[in-house]
Structure 1
Amino acid sequence: MASHLRCEAIHRNSWLMLKFRNQAHAPSYYAASANDTAHHAPLAGRVHVDVCVVGGGFTGLCTALNLVQRGFSVALLEASRIGWGASGRNGGQLITGYSCGIDTFAQSMSPEDVRRIWDMGLESVDIVREQIEAHGIDCDLTFGYLNVANKPRHADALQAWCDEAASRFGYRGYRYVQAADLGSYVESKRYVGGLYSEDSGHLHPLNYALGLARAAKAAGVSLYEDTCAVSLRKNAVGHEVLCEKGLVEARYVVLAGNAYLGQLAPALKRKILPVATYVIATEPLGKARARALMPADAAICDSNHALEYFRLSKDGRLLWGGRASCSTRLPPNTGEAMRLDMLRTFPQLADVRIDYAWGGLIDATMNRAPHFGRLAPNVYFAQGFSGHGVNVTALAGRLIAEAIDTQAARFDLFGRIQHREFPGGPLLRKPMLALAMAWHAMQDLL
């Protein structure tokens, strides 16, 4: 009977397992410059813990670390390698707040609670900084971030938000940058203004994830790589998480797989849309050339719907990201296509070689607000970071740990947000996404 259940569970989740299990890191600049090669053995047999965390990215690692520091026993399951998904592939931009506008929250809560959400958006970056400092994580953390305006209307919106943040929330961490002063941040004639944030910045995301894993293991978390969770069911103790060669029995379960959960939680899958985005890394530019290109060493993101984002690495490469798509495969000639995108901003780099090109999936919600909640009283989840995952995952980890430790008020505040399912079902989602992207691209051009 047990064997039959296991085979049935593996069949139900075969899409996830076949595509994403037991894989090495994407061949990225981050993987090539990773500072930890530790490998954690797969789960074998039965394990009993207070909490089972599914997913070895930022969300799962931050949650596990917070929980074990509160005295819980924790097992973390990762289908491939720690940081294998978006956590080890993203643009590395650490940005205060959320991917959605603050008024998205005002639709479902009071002004006082919106203020609490705002404060937590600032706290999210503080948590990342605190984790890096407390655990000595070497991940090239650098502060400074600039949101640049592609058009005059973008510049007006950035100026208005700078003023609103000061008047509505008393926040003085933004500084509007006039077009004439942009040369202090970026050597390009493409932009007409910008909003600088001193509290945001950038880091090496894979080394941050690997550092979190080291800290979690040192604190007592049991880490299992190459261990795909294929089924979740209730039992007398709480829940069982069934894997290929083992089982975790836990009072609480935390689902932190984001775009890679597959069929483990179909109700969650319908609330997010996996969107692929891509990054290239140039050859090292040399210190003088890199500093001339981006004198302030700030992370930069533009204001288009189909946005582009870029920053310098510690060794002086330009990391350039963008080109969202609905494909789960790296399109052919991605490196050259993105090089041409890069040259529209930096034509002076026409002689520069591209050393790496890679992609990965982010999980976007309909309203771009993060989606936190419970599938059952003791089954928690956090997903839908919509491109703001480096900071909001750290907040999610803290809030889930608070909630499991009987202080759920802050976590439940996010549960008030209404999240719609994406229309169309599995067959129509990709065509609808492609149409939406084409529409946004047309808006950017016009």
Structure 2
Amino acid sequence: MKVFTADAVPGRPYWWDHVAWPTLGERPPNQTEILIIGAGYTGLSAAIAANDSGARVLVIDSGQPGQGASTRNGGMLGAHPRIGWDTLASRYGPSVADALFSEAADALSWIKKLLRNEKIACDYEECGRVQLAYTSDHFAAQKRMAAQISEKGGGPCEILSRDELSNYIATPLYKGAIRFPKHGALHPAKYLHGLLSAVLSRKITVVSNCPAVSVQNAGTKWRVSTPHGEITADKIVLATNGYTGQQFQWFNQRVFPVPSFIIATEPLSPELIKELAPSRHMMVETRTHHSYFRVSPDGSRILFGGRAALVDIDLTKAARRLRKKMVEIWPGLRDVQLSHVWTGNTGFTFDQLPHVGDRNGVHYALGYSGGGTVLAPWLGRKAALRAVGAPEGETAFTQTRFSSRWFHSGGRPHFLRPLDLWYRHWVDRREDKTAND
């Protein structure tokens, strides 16, 4: 059968159908106190924090602000470390592990206040999220994780037995789940536009199509070359995440882009949506496909994302792979066509943690490793507060090692190609076998 509907435009995110992009200037002023490079969630939140601390702020972006990962993700709002407490404690010590767990919960609470305070209308819903265990071993690990999250103040969570899953999803595929009742959903493009509106309402200049070509330290100042002239700045905040260019070599060696692909179904009946996902929770899997899926904010479609590949591939091939996984979960969707398929770069680090700090005077918040909906604005704010010298900029995410690896010298992450083959031909097959035993 045909994969796409007749009016599908592969490459265009579903979220873009519901927003109008503002017209912004493309010529920056030549001086500022705080220059923020990157105008996604991180950079816009940093701009608000720096401005509200009394600094004169300029934001530049290499393209249209927010057209990177900030408007290409699944719109799931939740924050607990991707890495378990035991692993964090072994790497950085128990006190840092405790602080990372606690801060993730603080970040989620802060984001909800931000939405209220800035009156950001982004279809936010505190619907909860379930993480679905693909194997019995995964479910056993979830039980340990839930105990750690509860003990370390990472927010409320509960274990769901296999029998309870029918209240959340119509599939026999999973062995159990963790439910996070305080996690939520939003429309990522409306979220980005709400942040951008909050920035523009403060009379902060945001310049589109203005890449930072080079950055030079000029004593007490920074000189940043752009296609539209040179900018002199007192401080710089780097907020480029999965779109960090090679002109920022030290950072480019530590944050690498991993594509995430998402499909959207054609409109479905309300009755079918209710049958597939009766509780409208956000849903993610434990298997290494990292599939994540949800009902669209208007209740009309299923949005389904995940690891179609670790490298860029043809979008039709990606759509077929994701659709196959979706139909494994919901066989009743085998005849449904797709209206959208798109991709975007997630910024990953080698320890799968974001990092905040100051590298030779360049302040940064980078590497959310798939958790940027909450942590990008939270840590963008922290980086800006550190840049202006405010004590509120303290964060546990400065206390981890932002390290590189010998096999990645920057540029394209070529190591992902053999890793992609290894996952598809070994890890995925082994996981499927374990699930069926």
Task: Normalising by structure 2, report the TM-score.
Answer: 0.90
* Cα 1:71/1:149, change in 2 over 3 Å: same
Aligned to 1:444: 431
* Cα 1:332/1:281, change in 2 over 3 Å: closer
- Separation in 1, partners of 2:148, 2:84: 12
Q: CA RMSD of the aligned region, Å? A: 2.1
For 2:117, the aligned partner's letter is: A
For 2:24, the aligned partner's letter is: H
1:219 lines up with 2:219 in the alignment = no
- Separation in 1, partners of 2:315, 2:387: 42
- Separation in 1, partners of 2:11, 2:414: 28
1:352 lines up with 2:336 in the alignment = yes
Aligned to 2:365: 382
The 5 A counterparts of 1:25-424 are 26-34=11-19, 36-44=20-28, 46-143=29-126, 144-166=128-150, 168-169=151-152, 173-315=156-298, 316-377=300-361, 379-407=362-390, 411=394, 413-424=396-407
CA contact (8 A) 1:274 1:326 kept: no
Aligned to 1:13: none
Match of 2:183, SS state, is strand
Match of 1:262, SS state, is coil
Deviations 1:27-64 (A, max 9, x none): 11011122x331212125x4211111111111111111
For 2:355, the aligned partner's letter is: H
- Separation in 2, partners of 1:407, 1:116: 20
* Cα 1:433/1:41, change in 2 over 3 Å: farther
CA contact (8 A) 2:105 2:155 kept: no
Q: Which stretch of structure 1 is more off in the superposition, 307-316 or 368-377?
A: 368-377
Aligned to 2:7: none
Aligned to 1:434: 420
Task: Normalising by structure 1, report the TM-score.
Answer: 0.88
CA contact (8 A) 2:46 2:381 kept: yes
Show structure 2 runs of 5+ residues with no match. 1-9
- Separation in 2, partners of 1:138, 1:172: 25
For 1:128, the aligned partner's letter is: I
- Separation in 2, partners of 1:31, 1:405: 34
- Separation in 1, partners of 2:171, 2:136: 16
CA contact (8 A) 1:175 1:195 kept: yes
- Separation in 2, partners of 1:444, 1:62: 39
CA contact (8 A) 2:131 2:179 kept: yes
Match of 2:236, SS state, is strand
- Separation in 2, partners of 1:275, 1:73: 34
- Separation in 2, partners of 1:103, 1:226: 44
CA contact (8 A) 2:238 2:363 kept: yes
Q: Which stretch of structure 1 is more off in the superposition, 193-202 or 124-133?
A: 124-133
* Cα 1:171/1:206, change in 2 over 3 Å: closer
CA contact (8 A) 1:120 1:395 kept: no
- Separation in 2, partners of 1:332, 1:187: 27
- Separation in 1, partners of 2:11, 2:255: 23
- Separation in 2, partners of 1:279, 1:301: 13
CA contact (8 A) 1:274 1:363 kept: yes
- Separation in 2, partners of 1:267, 1:431: 22
Deviations 1:187-237 (A, max 9, x none): 111111110001212211111111101101111321111111111112244
CA contact (8 A) 1:231 1:243 kept: yes
The 5 A counterparts of 1:5-44 are 26-34=11-19, 36-44=20-28
Identical aligned pairs, as a percentage? 24
